[in-house]
């Protein structure tokens, strides 16, 4: 655990007692503060009280009279689409608002670091898509190279739940826009921006607010190295803002769509080959095409970002190449479930927005596409013209018929996962890929995208077991 510093003897309010909230309360207590907790859910309050924490209704008048700061869990909107009443009460009382990410960055470095031969480092990754794969891949590379690495944030453990990093240790964080938008301290040593596409727009009051939340990781923190995906205008703009000139190698530009040139530091993938250029010269080249855990252009972009981060941490190209070959992939992200009769089954339940689904569709040549769910703001117009690899769509979800009508490919309304997998299997020919890439949220039928992916896996395995008794 990372004990929170700076609040010893003070009362700190914690709003939201889910995974990160309870960990935050424990870390505050470990640092000598008194955590005053609140959650609308009585069961969550009961758990906190069982651990000896005081629970106080923070919506009542005078609740913030003795509070030093308010820590808000990331799932709670603090400003848009409407300001949370507890946050509003804190601001009215003049109480600062922060989150566990801010507490982590102000607390992770200790005086003990003065005795280390090599300072620990923090790598933070944000963006719309590919964050989880990028951090998991970097963590895998570091572990394979024998480096101490801990994975935390929006994946794995909560940031305050990890062990204090030891001499030369690396902390790899996945940070969502919900986490970067509110943190009062953001000081990673290496910051990574994967890409940007419309998502969570209601939470950020539009695309500009969404980009601004991501940009804070770089503008507020001033990382030693910034690795920026420049395949979208926002990424190119961000790289330009951070760079002092074309040869400034503190900014590493990354692309999965074109060759990059110039006197700076670039890492790009083209036709399945990753290349690193510095000062106009090629430093290394790797073949990504045969790595089963990284199919498709979007995963090649993730590989470029993880490669660049590993290079900033002192790893050699050959070390990284060897580690990439053993990367197993993440559950629910281009996850190969099995193959029978020449038909592959791939679970990409994490493809909850249109951009991530489009990228998944570009990774395979002939697809039986299982899609549908709770549509996000903006509809499905961006899918038009992006479904050339799709032989047929099999639509799930409570509004499957409406979803299917918006697609520009043959679509069958299946509603349930069981029916969708069965129909896709019946239609599939050798060489086809049955792909779950929903292009929608899961909450109309499932608690989360993981549960939806597990349902797909269960149906696929039932089919595979019947084919191979």
pLDDT digits (tens, 9 = 90+) for 11-70: 999 999 988 999 999 999 999 999 999 999 999 999 999 999 999 999 999 999 999 999
Q: Could you tell me the sign of the dihedral formed by the alpha carbons of 174, 175, 178, 184, in that order? A: positive
Is residue 454 within 8 A of residue 337, CB to CB? The reply is: no
Residue 335 DSSP SS3 = strand
**138 Cβ neighbours under 8 A, 6+ residues apart:** 123, 125, 149, 172, 306, 309, 310
How many CB atoms are located within 10 Å of the residue 45 CB?
18
Q: Has 129 been labeled as part of a binding site? A: yes
For the chain, the straight-line distance linking the first and the last C-alpha, in angstroms and rounded, comes to: 47
- Among all chains, which residue has been given the structure tokens 């000598």? 32
Question: Could you give the CA distance from residue 451 to residue 419 in angstroms, rounded to a whole number?
Answer: 17
Strand partners, 193: 126, 228
Q: Has 350 been labeled as part of a binding site? A: no
**pLDDT at site 333:** 86
Question: Could you give the CA distance from residue 208 to residue 405 in angstroms, rounded to a whole number?
Answer: 30
**pLDDT at site 155:** 86
Question: Could you give the CA distance from residue 88 to residue 204 in angstroms, rounded to a whole number?
Answer: 17
Question: Could you give the CA distance from residue 334 to residue 296 in angstroms, rounded to a whole number?
Answer: 9
Is residue 99 within 8 A of residue 182, CB to CB? The reply is: yes
Class for the domain spanning 335-467:
alpha beta
Which of 315, 312, 291 has its CA nearest to residue 303?
Answer: 291
Strand 390-396: give its sheet, edge to edge.
335-340, 343-347, 433-436, 367-371, 390-396, 411-415
Structure-block tokens of residue 149: 């690495």
Residue ranges, the chain, pLDDT below 70: 467-469
Domain 103-324: CATH superfamily is Mur-like, catalytic domain (3.40.1190.10)
Residues of the chain with CATH 3.90.190.20: 335-467
Rounded to the nearest angstrom, the gap between the alpha carbon of residue 457 and the centroid of all alpha carbons in its chain is 22
Burial class (CB in 10 A: 0-12, 13-18, 19+), 62: exposed
Q: Has 127 been labeled as part of a binding site? A: yes
**395 Cβ neighbours under 8 A, 6+ residues apart:** 370, 371, 372, 401, 403, 404, 407, 411, 412, 413, 414, 415, 420
**pLDDT at site 469:** 56
Q: Has 214 been labeled as part of a binding site? A: no
How many CB atoms are located within 10 Å of the residue 204 CB?
22
Residues of the chain with CATH 3.40.50.720: 11-98
Q: Has 132 been labeled as part of a binding site? A: yes
Global confidence as pTM: 0.86
**pLDDT at site 197:** 87
**pLDDT at site 432:** 97
* Domain at 11-98: CATH architecture: 3-Layer(aba) Sandwich (3.40)
Structure-block tokens of residue 21: 């909230």
Residues of the chain with CATH 3.40.1190.10: 103-324
């Amino acid at each position: 655990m990372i004990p929170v510093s700076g609040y010893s003897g003070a009362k700190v309010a914690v709003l939201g007692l889910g995974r990160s909230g309870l960990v935050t309360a424990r870390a505050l207590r470990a640092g000598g503060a008194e955590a005053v907790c609140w959650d609308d859910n009585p069961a969550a309050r009961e758990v906190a009280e069982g651990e000896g924490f005081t629970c106080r209704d923070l919506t009542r008048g005078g609740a913030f009279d003795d509070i030093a700061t308010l820590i808000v869990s990331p799932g709670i909107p603090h400003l848009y689409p409407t300001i949370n009443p507890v946050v509003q009460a804190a601001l009215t009382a003049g109480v600062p608002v922060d989150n566990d990410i801010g507490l982590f960055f102000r607390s992770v470095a200790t005086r003990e670091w003065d005795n280390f031969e090599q300072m620990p480092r923090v790598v933070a990754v944000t963006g719309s898509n590919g964050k989880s794969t990028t951090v998991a891949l970097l963590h895998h590379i570091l572990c394979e190279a024998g480096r101490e690495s801990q994975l935390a944030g929006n994946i794995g453990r909560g940031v305050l739940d990890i062990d204090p990093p030891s001499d030369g240790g690396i902390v790899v964080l996945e940070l969502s826009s919900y986490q970067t938008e509110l943190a009062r301290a953001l000081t990673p040593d290496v910051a990574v921006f994967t890409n940007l596409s419309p998502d969570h727009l209601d939470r950020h009051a539009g695309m500009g607010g969404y980009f601004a939340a991501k940009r804070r990781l770089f503008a507020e923190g001033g990382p030693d190295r910034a690795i920026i995906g420049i395949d979208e205008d926002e990424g190119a703009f961000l790289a330009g803002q951070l760079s002092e000139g074309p040869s400034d190698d503190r900014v590493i530009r990354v692309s999965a769509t074109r060759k990059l040139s110039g006197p700076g530091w670039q890492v790009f993938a083209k036709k399945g080959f990753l290349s690193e250029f510095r000062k106009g010269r090629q430093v290394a080249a790797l073949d990504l095409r045969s790595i089963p855990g990284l199919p498709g252009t979007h995963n090649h972009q993730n590989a470029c970002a993880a490669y660049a981060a590993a290079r900033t941490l002192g790893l050699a190209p050959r070390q990284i190449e060897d580690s990439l070959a053993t990367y197993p992939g993440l559950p629910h992200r281009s996850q190969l479930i099995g193959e029978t009769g020449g038909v592959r089954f791939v679970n990409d339940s994490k493809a909850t927005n249109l951009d991530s689904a489009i990228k998944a569709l570009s990774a395979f040549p002939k697809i039986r596409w299982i899609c549908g769910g709770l549509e996000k703001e903006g509809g499905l117009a961006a899918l038009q013209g992006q479904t050339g690899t799709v032989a047929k769509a099999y639509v799930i979800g409570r509004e499957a018929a409406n979803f299917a009508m918006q697609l520009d490919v043959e679509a069958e309304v299946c509603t349930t996962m069981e029916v969708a997998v069965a129909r896709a299997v019946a239609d599939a020919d050798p060489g086809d890929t049955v792909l779950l890439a929903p292009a929608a949220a899961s909450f109309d039928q499932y608690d989360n995208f993981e549960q939806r992916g597990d349902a797909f896996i269960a149906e696929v395995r039932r089919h595979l077991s019947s084919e191979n008794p």
